Amino acid sequence: MDKYTKGNKKTEALELMVGHYLVGNQGIYKVQEFLGEGGFGKVARCTKLGSPEIYAIKIITNVQEGKEEFESMKLIQVLDPDENHLMKMYECFSFQNVICLVYEILEESLEDFLIKNECKATPLTYVRALAQQMFQALKALKSIGVVHCDIKLDNIMFADKNSLKFKLIDFGLAVESKELPIGTEIQVTRFRAPEVILGLPLDESVDMWALGMVLACVYFADVLNRAKNKDTFFTRDNGDWRLSFIDLLKCILQVNPQRRITPSQALEHDFITMKLIRPICSVPPNLQQRGLTVKSDGFGCIQNRLISVIWWIPPTVMIQ
């Protein structure tokens, strides 16, 4: 069994297995399977006795770290988790020397999504939905003066892939912006803002930089290195929308944090509102003869019962 030390006190942590029960404040949970594991402990897919609901329980072996994550989650409890695309927490309890945080069950992370998709370019439909929802999440966090501090591919998950619903997760490092001292080492290297690296004063804008890096990773992936014919990627049909996205990225990835776009401003950008972007999708005559129509979802999809085509995405980078 794993042990950890806090001060001079050694504590023996519970070794959980599938089928074990966790006794919480709001019910008894049964471990069905383990979804992941890290330095903090494990995440288990659990059912609650007497309920059809399924939960994701984060089991943290270091009691102090578990309490700190719970305190971080309390910072955002005033925000609606569904409206603001934030992970929902149901309860926190201590059980046999571990801290258990009960969260809603989600689907897969962006990291896993890209790996499964073999790092192919992601359609702008996905990128726009992701950007819009994460801007709303950061707008909500900014409104209460909270910084996530750890935005990365692993910490954004699909809530519902079919409807392109995303949620921001893992607030274990979240703090109030006024508590961000100069020289704080936050964010993983790949998504670290310039002001963090340079030891400059920090605020909520570090999250916008990290999100910009996430959006760039999701969209560009490895397509330019893998595509056989790069001209087929930069097609005329998606030109306006693609250029609008690039402009948004430039606004987010401003080295000077004072010039970096805010979440509220980003929500008004043309890439999100599509106000100044010409229609990106039309049905060619040869496809009209097959009974295809334009789906009016603002994403530029052509659909019928048997086929779904994102007209501006080349076949080599279609999401399966």
CATH number for the domain that contains residue 70: 3.30.200.20
| Annotated active-site residue in 82, 150, 203, 240 | 150
Say which range, 26-35, 109-118, 257-266, has the weakest mean pLDDT. Answer: 109-118
Binding residues for ATP: 58
Q: What is the pLDDT of residues 234-250, one digit of tens each?
A: 443 457 888 999 999 99
- Binned at pLDDT 50, 70 and 90, residue 181 comes out as confident
- Whether residues 156 and 247 share a domain: the answer is yes
- Binned at pLDDT 50, 70 and 90, residue 40 comes out as confident
Calculate the average pLDDT of the chain.
Answer: 81
Q: What is the pLDDT of residues 52-90, one digit of tens each?
A: 999 999 999 999 999 999 999 999 999 999 999 999 999
- Whether residues 192 and 266 share a domain: the answer is yes
- Whether residues 173 and 36 share a domain: the answer is no
pTM (two decimals): 0.78
207 is catalytic: no
- Whether residues 156 and 222 share a domain: the answer is yes
| pLDDT of the residue at 225 | 42
Q: Is residue 315 part of a domain?
A: no
- Whether residues 158 and 77 share a domain: the answer is no
Mean pLDDT over 271-300 rounds to: 53
Determine the length of the chain: 320
Mean pLDDT over 249-266 rounds to: 97
Last residue of a domain, one of 78, 104, 130: 104
Mean pLDDT over 130-139 rounds to: 98
How many domains does the chain contain in total?
A: 2
Binding residues: 58
Q: What is the CATH number of the domain that holds 239?
A: 1.10.510.10
